[in-house]
């Protein structure tokens, strides 16, 4: 019975994957580079505005040593409502894809647990 209670004691936060936020990035710029907090926040916001603007404009974004963000146009296709089984057309749309660079993949493999799977 105690095992069941212990297994049921969890919070929503425990289910979330840790994430690096824009606020944390700004704080890191403040701590490591010495920019003031307002400049740090503005720099992070400007960076992401540039990336988003380029993607919205249809341009790919390539960050050396990190990876590539690309816009891909997906064709319309038939879909299905999983609850009702009703056929629903899915409209053509643009999506963003990310492909990590080899350097980033190597860093992740070097710091992560070896899963025993082959590299792409």
Q: What is the pTM of this model?
A: 0.67
Which helix H or strand E contains 95, and what residues bound it?
strand 93-100
Tens digits of pLDDT across the chain (120 residues):
444 444 445 455 555 678 999 999 999 999 998 889 999 999 999 999 999 999 999 999 999 999 999 999 999 999 999 999 999 999 999 999 999 999 999 999 987 554 444 444
pLDDT of residue 116: 47
pLDDT of residue 62: 97
pLDDT of residue 28: 92
pLDDT of residue 13: 53
Distance CA(4)–CA(6), nearest Å, equals: 5
Tokens describing residue 103: 């350097």
**Residue 96: φ, ψ to 5°:** -100, 130
Domains of the chain, CATH where assigned: 21-59 (4.10.520.10), 60-112 (4.10.520.10)
pLDDT of residue 86: 95
Residue 101 burial (CB < 10 Å; 0-12/13-18/19+)?
middle
């Amino acid at each position: 019975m105690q095992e069941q209670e212990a297994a049921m004691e969890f919070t929503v936060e425990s289910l979330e994957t840790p994430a690096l936020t824009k606020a944390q990035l700004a704080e890191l710029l403040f701590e490591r580079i010495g920019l003031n907090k307002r400049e740090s926040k503005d720099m992070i916001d400007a960076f992401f505005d540039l990336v988003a603007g380029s993607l919205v404009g249809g341009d790919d974004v390539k960050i050396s040593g990190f990876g590539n963000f690309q816009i891909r146009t997906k064709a319309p296709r038939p879909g299905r409502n999983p609850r009702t089984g009703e056929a629903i057309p899915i409209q053509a749309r643009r999506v963003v894809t990310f492909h990590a660079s080899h350097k980033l993949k190597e860093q992740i493999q070097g710091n992560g647990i070896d899963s025993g799977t082959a590299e792409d």
